[in-house]
Copies of this chain bind each other. A is one copy, B any other.
Amino acid sequence: MIKITFPDKTVKEFESGITGLDIAKGISNRLAKEAVSVGVNGEIYDLTRPITKDADFAIYKFEDEQGKEAFWHSSAHLMAEAIEALYRGVKLWVGPSVNNGFYYDIDLPEGKNITEKDFPILEKKMLELAQQKNEYIRKDIPKAEALKYYTEKGDEYKVDLIGGLEDGTITFYKQGNFTDLCRGPHLPDTGYIKAVKIMSIAGAYWKGDEKNKQLTRVYGVSFPQKKLLDEYLEMLEEAKKRDHRKLGKELELFTFSSKVGQGLPLWLPKGAKLRERLENFLKKVQTEYGYEPVITPHIGQKELYVTSGHYAKYGADSFQPINTPAEGEEFLLKPMNCPHHCEIYNSKPHSYKDLPLRYAEFGTVYRYEQSGELHGLTRVRGFTQDDAHIFCRPDQLKEEFIKVIDIVLYIFKTLDFENFTTQISLRDKDDKSKYIGSDENWAKAEAAIIEASAEKGLNTVIAYGEAAFYGPKLDFMVKDAIGRSWQLGTIQVDYNLPERFELEYTGSDNEKHRPVMIHRAPFGSMERFVAVLIEHTAGKFPLWLTSEQAVILPVSERFNEYAQEVMKKLALADVRVSIDERNEKVGKKIRDNEVKRIPYMLIVGEKEVENNSLSVRKQGEGDIGIMSINEFSDFIKDRVAEELK
């Protein structure tokens, strides 16, 4: 008998060799139908793989990340089977599951190729094979035997793959006429796959090395229900409409220039103002929480990064050093602000009474990315972190952590990111050798993060072994309006830099102590955050943030002068407003501005001029009444205050 511990900590005994599927069936038929894989002591198992030891146990559905992984990995095998059936002589490299589906890298026979018009044929073949409900059969084979098999088959890719594995047995999976070496896990049979879509093809060098042959990478996605595929494709359509690169251009927020260089955004006036409003918003919150601004240069001597350890770790892959024309100095573009802030900390001695110190900087950093990796504002070569570093005593860590969480939660609430998850990354339980800092400090820091998260009621997942080598961290993943996840906001504890920069404070015991550092960036970077915000809101920003809060619509040109007067008064009251002075009927003006999604329309004609008033319409809702100019500016102020509450 083995002991199976369920996620709710209840324990049941089963015969050794029982499968996840059997356990699920024991709970309910519905669950057994929805299950796609199981977790056994943190490892993902096939539903049909026997469990032979006591285990922490979990059942994964398609909705779960672990479920998707098995589902899409099995779909990659299914696609490979279909490709082999359609393209005789094709050779296969590898086919993993990825973020939004799966791919397989294939080497097509001489003269063959796949284009978009072949996608439906491939999809049809996959569904045909899926309907055969072929089981995914796991089999362990000695390495030598596997090598012999593929050598005889003349498949140099798999031979190379097996050659790189450790000696012993190798796991294979077979479904229908297709066999692949693979660690698994997989679905019980292909019948689970009810809907497939081939998404795209791309070139991919074998092993990612541009000196090797270019293979064809075929991307696909699959689902257990046709409905889910339809929803997914709809979401993609919607995402395309919300693409921040498209909206950023339409809203005139930012641009790129081939002369300035790729991945280096130029913020246009509307974007610069939007960014300034976001920065001021965060500055205000940070001031309330006792942060102090600092400003540091965008370069630092190479020595600074040798001290911090960044040069040894990332130097070769970064923008290369800047030499001086004389005196033989070497500088680097700063890839992060922390070393500069450490030097500010070190610019004078500190007492335990001075701590915590919280240095904040909207610091622009530069990191080299290959041009193929660049994408709009989400993957750039220069970006501005909403960075801050907290230098505190170990006994202040938890309180400081709670305060940072408060700031992050306030921001998420204000910007309507209500749907988010958090992950606490801790040390590997079994291998503590790869981390720096004393056990005592790690225990303190990990407890501080766990307790702080619990006190703030966060629904956290704990990931062992995911901590940085210099300390544990807490990450926030938000879901946007169309259900996509984005990593925003990170809080990290750091024992490394205080050590490397020899940071000190004098304790109440009159001895020298080392402070702890917290790195934190609630937005992550201004670029990435604005991109996510655009896609989340489809460019319809909250009132406090939007470029145009209202537009004045004169009923005819006779009232343009009054409109100008209104605009001036509202501008003085910090309301952002424009005028539609076109010689058009007011009905058309309303329709046109309705489409632009400006929150309020202010109609002015005979009556309004007489009474010194405005007829106010809310976008998407219609008339909301007559107001004086002051009433309207107070109205906007109240709405904004409510948003920022």
Given A255-B344, A272-B295, A294-B268, are A327 and B364 neighbors across the interface (CB < 8 Å)?
no
A273-302 toward B: CB 8 Å interface, digit per residue (1/0)?
101100000000000000011111111110
B319→A331 contact, CB < 8 A:
yes
A343→B259 contact, CB < 8 A:
yes
Q: Is A269 positioned at the interface, with any CB of B under 8 Å from its CB?
A: yes
- How long is the Cα–Cα vector from A53 to B271 in the complex, in angstroms? 64
- How long is the Cα–Cα vector from A257 to B366 in the complex, in angstroms? 21
Q: Is A26 positioned at the interface, with any CB of B under 8 Å from its CB?
A: no
- How long is the Cα–Cα vector from A382 to B275 in the complex, in angstroms? 24
A246-270 toward B: CB 8 Å interface, digit per residue (1/0)?
0000000001010111001111110
Residues of chain B contacted by A292 (CB below 8 angstroms): 269, 272-273
A108-145 residues at the B interface, CB under 8 angstroms:
none
Q: Is A359 positioned at the interface, with any CB of B under 8 Å from its CB?
A: yes
Q: Is A592 positioned at the interface, with any CB of B under 8 Å from its CB?
A: no
Residues of chain B contacted by A323 (CB below 8 angstroms): 319-320
B319→A294 contact, CB < 8 A:
no
- How long is the Cα–Cα vector from A368 to B328 in the complex, in angstroms? 12
Q: Is A318 positioned at the interface, with any CB of B under 8 Å from its CB?
A: yes
- How long is the Cα–Cα vector from A327 to B371 in the complex, in angstroms? 8
A541-596 residues at the B interface, CB under 8 angstroms:
none
Contact of A294 among B267, B321, B327, B347 (CB under 8 A): B267
Residue of B nearest to A361 (CB): B272
Most B CB within 10 A of own CB, among A271, A325, A346, A359: A325
Cβ of A473 to closest chain B Cβ, rounded Å: 26
A322→B320 contact, CB < 8 A:
yes
Grouping DSSP codes into helix (H, G, I), strand (E, B) and loop, the A interface class, with mixed when no group exceeds half, is mixed
Given A323-B320, A331-B319, A344-B268, are A259 and B307 neighbors across the interface (CB < 8 Å)?
yes
Q: Is A317 positioned at the interface, with any CB of B under 8 Å from its CB?
A: yes
- How long is the Cα–Cα vector from A359 to B272 in the complex, in angstroms? 11
Total residues of chain A contacting the partner, CB 8 A: 57
Residues of chain B contacted by A324 (CB below 8 angstroms): 319-320, 368
B344→A297 contact, CB < 8 A:
no
Total copies of this chain within the assembly:
2
Residue of B nearest to A280 (CB): B280
A260→B325 contact, CB < 8 A:
no
Q: Is A340 positioned at the interface, with any CB of B under 8 Å from its CB?
A: yes
A320-356 toward B: CB 8 Å interface, digit per residue (1/0)?
1111111101010100000110011011000000000
B371→A304 contact, CB < 8 A:
no
Contact of A266 among B318, B320, B343 (CB under 8 A): B343
Contact of A304 among B260, B307, B333, B382 (CB under 8 A): B260
Contact of A259 among B272, B294, B303 (CB under 8 A): B303
B297→A260 contact, CB < 8 A:
yes
- How long is the Cα–Cα vector from A301 to B263 in the complex, in angstroms? 11
Q: Is A165 positioned at the interface, with any CB of B under 8 Å from its CB?
A: no
Given A267-B296, A319-B322, A347-B268, are A301 and B259 neighbors across the interface (CB < 8 Å)?
yes
Residue of B nearest to A283 (CB): B276
- How long is the Cα–Cα vector from A92 to B308 in the complex, in angstroms? 51
Residues of chain B contacted by A368 (CB below 8 angstroms): 324-325
Residues of chain B contacted by A333 (CB below 8 angstroms): 298-299, 322, 333
Cβ of A90 to closest chain B Cβ, rounded Å: 31
B298→A364 contact, CB < 8 A:
yes
Given A269-B293, A340-B266, are A347 and B255 neighbors across the interface (CB < 8 Å)?
yes
- How long is the Cα–Cα vector from A271 to B265 in the complex, in angstroms? 28
Q: Is A27 positioned at the interface, with any CB of B under 8 Å from its CB?
A: no
Q: Is A370 positioned at the interface, with any CB of B under 8 Å from its CB?
A: yes
Interface residues of A (CB under 8 A from B): 255, 257, 259-261, 264-269, 271-273, 275-276, 292-301, 303-304, 307, 316-327, 329, 331, 333, 339-340, 343-344, 346-347, 359, 364, 366, 368, 370-371, 382
- Interchain residue pairs A-B with the least CB separation, the first 3: A269-B292, A267-B295, A272-B293
Known: A260-B300, A260-B339. 18 other contacts (CB 8 A): A259-B300, A259-B301, A259-B304, A260-B304, A260-B340, A260-B343, A261-B297, A261-B304, A266-B343, A269-B294, A275-B295, A297-B366, A298-B382, A316-B325, A319-B325, A320-B325, A322-B333, A326-B370
